[in-house]
């Protein structure tokens, strides 16, 4: 009975409040570039202040999205009278982070570079193992004779100057980190000649993305890069020259020279943490046959990086582009209903918050849903879909789309996309490889759906040089490819829902 009432309400609502022109109804199913552009231009404008979670910009964005859902005839969830789901989040500021060693404070980005986001963490190792350059091969082993499992290790970045046969270890971080993670140390300290140069070398978004993911490793072992000026403070004062003298001996002789030293160093990691509130914005359309094979959920995170050092990060591609596609699909479904065609299954539209702060919004949505006992059939997640990346730029191609999923389980979903690909998009599956260094399946909201066994596809057009930069502006969005990508996602979503 409730399902019938909802269908009557939704039809009545459209007839009363959203009567459309005959031309618009006849254009049902045709993705509008104007509609896409309107959303991207709006969300990336200065009024929304970069949409960082827990800020005024997020509140304004959530209000805007609520009004958009309402204007399109998209309802709040059955258990709510409003669209917004609030959730607690913690804001960690990397710029205020510092490390204290033996009561001396060192600055992030100048004296050290720390990969894991620690919050007020104290390490008190009683000893450290110095392991030369942290290299382990059959011919050269900096760890020989030492069990480093559960211990603190410290070594120099690079390779011994006299060992050309080890040069690959100088630039291939994968070799060094994979070797180290097998040894399972408690923490890793790497002495780097120039911390600022290391930081600058990661200025490319792709390099930064890959490097940080690599450093975190399978067990999230803390990795601390320290300057040569900072490194002596880990040793007792009488032995502070020993690190550099041992390094010189290794460089001269080309042979490992590891040793254990006692330390009373205390490492205190501190980052200013504030309790904040994040917001998901959730829309809903009831199916004519409610709970028909589970609900379809279409998601796109709307948050971005906000304002940093008085500079706006507009996030046009990341991810106003994805939100624009989600809203355009919602608009198309509304037009279908006005044409008298009802979806068979429930449809949820999730504009998730705090994705940039650790996928928190999607996680909260799935674990603390306002409606209990909801089953989801499929998730379609849309993120950064309005540009091209370097690999396709080099080919002069823009009409493509990355689809990312667990191909060991959900290859049929990809095949269905291929059947509906009437715009001749090149569907690229390279990021489906679980060994790909970017590991994108774990770095977007899709991850939480896959983790719960919900079939999920992630639609993506690649990382570009403006990723997470103030230059990610709306004038750089490529609307013809965006329209084609949106059209395919709409057709596939429709095939699942109607």
pLDDT, tens only, 336-372: 988 889 999 999 999 999 999 888 899 999 998 767 7
Higher pLDDT, 477 or 161: 477
Same-domain pairing of 72 and 102: no
Cross-strand bridge partners of residue 401: 427
Judge whether residue 20 has pLDDT over 50: no
Domain boundary among 270, 292, 317: 270
Query: How many separate domains does the chain show?
Result: 2
Which of 364-373, 395-404, 448-457 has the weakest average pLDDT? 364-373
| In a shared domain, residues 373 and 281 | yes
Q: Are residues 406 and 261 in the same domain?
A: no
Residue 269 predicted with pLDDT over 90: no
What is the pTM (predicted TM-score) of this model? 0.70
Does one domain contain both 242 and 300? no
**In the predicted model, what is the mean pLDDT of residues 240-265?**
86
- Confidence (pLDDT) at 271: 56
Using a 10 angstrom Cβ sphere, with 0-12 exposed, 13-18 middle and 19 or more buried, the burial of residue 216 is middle
- Regarding whether 487 and 425 lie in a shared domain, the answer is yes
If you search the block for the tokens 């190792």, which residue do you land on?
A: 125
Q: Do 353 and 486 share a domain, yes or no? A: yes
Give the pLDDT mean for 11-22: 44
| Residue 222: pLDDT band with limits 50, 70, 90 | confident
* Percentage, residues of the chain above pLDDT 70: 83
Q: What is the CATH number of the domain that holds 432?
A: 3.40.630.10
Average pLDDT over residues 432-453: 87
Least confident of 33-47, 109-123, 159-173, 421-435: 109-123
For residues 279 and 172, membership in a common domain is answered with no
Q: What is the mean pLDDT of residues 83-107?
A: 71
- Average pLDDT over every residue of 104-129: 72
Kindly state whether residues 402 and 362 are assigned to the same domain.
Answer: yes
Could you tell me if 72 and 46 lie in one domain?
yes
Please check whether residues 112 and 59 belong to one and the same domain: no
For the chain, what is the mean pLDDT?
A: 84
Q: Which CATH number belongs to the domain containing residue 122 in this structure? A: 3.50.30
pLDDT digits (tens, 9 = 90+) for 139-151: 999 999 999 998 8
Last residue of a domain, one of 249, 270, 291: 270
Residue that finishes a domain, picked among 243, 270, 297: 270
Residue with the larger pLDDT of the pair 113 and 411: 411
Structure tokens at 43: 């969300």
pLDDT of residue 8: 40
pLDDT, residue 13, reads 47
Asked if 265 and 125 touch (Cβ cutoff 8 Å), the reply is: yes
Looking at residue 273, what is its pLDDT?
A: 56
How many whole angstroms separate alpha carbon 330 and alpha carbon 18?
Answer: 14
Give the per-residue pLDDT at 212. 58
Q: In what order do the strands lie in the sheet with 456-460?
A: 84-92, 273-285, 347-352, 295-301, 376-382, 456-460, 400-404, 426-428
Tokens 């829309």 locate to: 283
Residues 484 and 356 grouped into a single domain: yes
Same domain, 379 and 298: yes
Rounded distance, CA 177 to CA 191, Å? 15
**Is the pLDDT score of 170 beyond 90?**
no
Average pLDDT of span 62-91: 92
Q: For residue 137, what are the domain limits?
A: 95-270
């Amino acid at each position: 009975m409730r399902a019938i009432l909802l269908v009557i309400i939704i039809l009545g609502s459209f007839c009363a409040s959203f009567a459309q022109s005959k031309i618009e109804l006849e254009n049902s199913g045709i993705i509008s570039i104007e509609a896409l552009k309107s959303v991207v231009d709006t969300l990336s404008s200065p009024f929304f202040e970069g949409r960082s979670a827990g800020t005024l910009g997020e509140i304004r964005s959530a209000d805007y999205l609520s009004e958009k859902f309402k204007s399109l005839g998209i309802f709040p969830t059955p258990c709510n009278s409003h669209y917004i789901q609030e959730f607690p989040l913690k804001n960690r500021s990397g710029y205020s982070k510092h490390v204290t060693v033996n009561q001396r404070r060192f600055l992030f980005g100048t004296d050290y570079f720390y990969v894991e986001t620690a919050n007020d963490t104290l390490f008190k190792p009683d000893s450290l193992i110095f392991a030369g350059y942290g290299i382990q091969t059959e011919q050269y082993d900096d760890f020989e004779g030492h069990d480093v499992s559960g211990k603190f290790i410290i070594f120099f970045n690079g390779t011994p100057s006299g060992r050309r046969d080890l040069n690959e270890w100088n630039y291939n971080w994968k070799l060094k980190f994979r070797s180290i993670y097998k040894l399972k140390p408690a923490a890793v300290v790497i002495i780097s000649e120039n911390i600022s140069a290391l930081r600058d070398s990661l200025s490319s978004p792709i390099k930064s993305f890959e490097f940080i993911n690599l450093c975190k490793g399978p067990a999230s072992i803390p990795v601390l890069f320290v300057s040569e000026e900072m490194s002596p403070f880990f040793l007792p004062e009488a032995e502070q020259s020993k690190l550099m003298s041992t390094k010189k001996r290794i460089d001269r002789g080309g042979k490992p020279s590891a040793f254990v030293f006692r330390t009373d160093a205390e490492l205190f990691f501190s980052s200013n943490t504030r309790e904040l509130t994040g917001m998901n914005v959730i829309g809903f359309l009831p199916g004519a046959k409610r709970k028909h094979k589970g609900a379809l959920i279409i998601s796109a995170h709307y948050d971005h990086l906000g304002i940093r050092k008085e500079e706006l990060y507009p996030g046009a591609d990341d991810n106003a582009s994805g939100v624009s596609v989600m809203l355009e699909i919602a608009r198309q479904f509304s037009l279908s209903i006005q044409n008298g065609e009802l979806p068979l299954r429930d449809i949820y539209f999730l504009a998730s918050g705090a994705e940039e702060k650790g996928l928190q919004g999607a996680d909260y949505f799935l674990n603390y849903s306002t409606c209990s006992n909801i089953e989801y059939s499929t998730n379609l997640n849309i993120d950064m879909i309005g540009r091209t990346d370097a690999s396709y730029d080099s080919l002069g191609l823009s009409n493509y789309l990355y689809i990312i999923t667990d191909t060991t389980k959900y290859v049929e979903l990809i095949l269905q996309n291929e059947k509906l690909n009437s715009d001749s998009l090149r569907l690229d599956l390279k990021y489906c490889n679980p060994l790909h260094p970017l590991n994108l399946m774990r770095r977007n909201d899709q991850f939480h759906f896959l983790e719960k066994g919900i079939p999920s596809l992630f639609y993506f057009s690649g990382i570009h040089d403006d990723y997470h930069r103030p230059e990610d502006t709306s004038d750089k969005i490529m609307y013809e490819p965006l329209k084609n990508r949106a059209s395919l996602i709409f057709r596939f979503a429709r095939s699942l829902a109607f």
